[in-house]
Structure 1
């Protein structure tokens, strides 16, 4: 039987329970036979891969690699994935650098097929790092089958926290968020912005997100989310607003049903 996370409550109360029990639940997922087989195969074979072409040709290895970056939906887009990997990230005109979703950039950089004579998957600690990311994403996906908002919150804690702690300009960090669908969803909801904001000019979007962040959290920076307290506020605000939105949608659907029934 596949792993099913235990989330007895919705909203922030459910989040609190999930966080309190997450270490044990993650261990339970990693202990499943299917997960153990995936890990063993990856450890035994990833160091043998010499090119992007060889990686995409091995579906089992590719599944772990893509999942580690939240890109598992692209497992059948082999030609595209190979092109992203072969282009690397060191050249400004590399495909990975042109894509708005910066997860591809991180994916290509992690392997280094297009950048180095000896790709990074040959390094002794590569399998450990990728499998840690793989197990994290697998747990998030499992959570998402029961509560999508909590999956996105878990992802934001990890990815946004890392992004916030990096050096670099604040605008560059904001553009990374705007180009990362899962992170954008969390930030947009937490800031109370409508989905229609995606239809305006990207530079204007940046201004809107920064202004709302300042009003909501006190600063217009992404770096502020490196602070645990600010990150916790973001997650709490996101989950609360997400739950209200879900309840509103459910009430609206129920009202429409009653109207159709003539009640």
Structure 2
């Protein structure tokens, strides 16, 4: 990818810079010839796809489709992806319903294979919806090549308010976050939790996440993340904690205090 985002610093200060310049930087990526070619190809050809097998056999269509859901690392795993699509999401034992990472379910649901009905890929407006996601994910991917924490923050800033706005039972929303690998990493880091917490019983994990949310954010309700100020506080906690985790063990207390102050600025 020829586009390289400008992120002059890490941490919360870098996040604020990225947010101020995101519209211009994202437009620069969208105007790049390679992205324009991918989007034109997808728009021209996706409507003729009638099966999961046809989709996975077309490298360019599959790459755009997977990237739109943050699953581009699975591009070589064609059999796995075809199974995800062919199973659909209706049956409880469908593969995407049994995976912890619910991005696969969202991907399968978006295309609508695995039923007797025509796939959703043939409906008007389908290409636009997928390409909107593709552009957003492509920008996040480019950002991630410069700073992985910024990519996680961008993903959370996009997905978490949408999830919070859906409503529903709070514990169900937490389980969805816990099953979404990038979102889970943001919360684990912000809350100072080790990745080994994922080995605990699910109900115990839920209790830990809710307790930490109460302690650090003042509420365990996912609905709070419809508020931009609450999202900003989560990003501040995540980026400050991530910077601390990256400091060498010989770092002085003064250096740690500086990182915390920068994170709270």
TM range (shorter): over 0.9
Distance 1:110 1:41 in 2: 19
Q: Which runs of 5+ in 1 are unaligned?
A: 253-263
What are the equivalent positions in structure 2 for 1:8-87 lying under 5 Å apart? 8-87=8-87
State the shift of 1:244 in Å: 1.6
Q: Is the 8 A contact 1:88 1:112 kept in 2?
A: yes
Q: Is 1:160 aligned with 2:160?
A: yes
Map 1:215-234 to 2 at 5 A: 215-234=215-234
- Equivalent position SS for 2:101: coil
SS of the aligned residue for 2:146 comes to coil
**Residue 88 of structure 1 contacts residue 115 of structure 1 at CA under 8 Å; is this kept in 2?**
yes
1:204 aligns with 2:195: no
Question: 1:50-74 deviations in whole A, cap 9, x for unaligned?
Answer: 0001000101000000000000011
Q: Report how many aligned residue pairs link the two structures.
A: 252
The 5-angstrom pairing of residues 89-100 of structure 1 reads 89-100=89-100
Structure 2 distance, partners of 1:127, 1:196, is: 39
- Counterpart CA distance in 1 for 2:117 and 2:186 is 38
Distance 1:249 1:176, change over 3 A: farther
- Name the SS for the 1:145 alignment partner: helix
TM-score by length of 1: 0.92
How big is the shift at 1:251? 4.8
1:132 corresponds to: 132
Task: Give SS of 1:6's match.
Answer: coil
Higher relative contact order (CA 8 A, sep 6+): 2
Q: How many angstroms does 1:249 deviate by?
A: 5.8
TM-score by length of structure 2 reads 0.92
What SS is found at the alignment partner of 2:247? helix
Q: Aligned-pair distance for 1:93?
A: 1.8
Give the gaps of 5 or more residues in structure 2: 253-265
Contact 1:89–1:115 (8 Å) recurs in 2: no
- For the aligned residue pairs, the C-alpha RMSD in angstroms reads 1.5
- Runs (4+) off by over 3 Å: 248-252
Aligned to 2:263: none
Partners of 1:116 and 1:126 lie apart in 2 by 19
Residue 180 of structure 1: aligned partner: 180
Given the superposition, is the C-alpha separation of residues 248 and 30 from structure 1 closer, same or farther in structure 2, using an over 3 Å criterion?
A: same
From the superposition, tell whether residues 79 and 228 of structure 1 become closer, same or farther in structure 2 (CA, over 3 Å).
same
Per-residue deviation at 1:83? 0.8
Over 3 Å counting, the alpha-carbon distance change for 1:249 and 1:199 in structure 2 is farther
Q: Which moved more, 1:35-44 or 1:108-117?
A: 108-117
- Please state how far the C-alpha of 1:194 moved relative to its aligned partner: 2.1
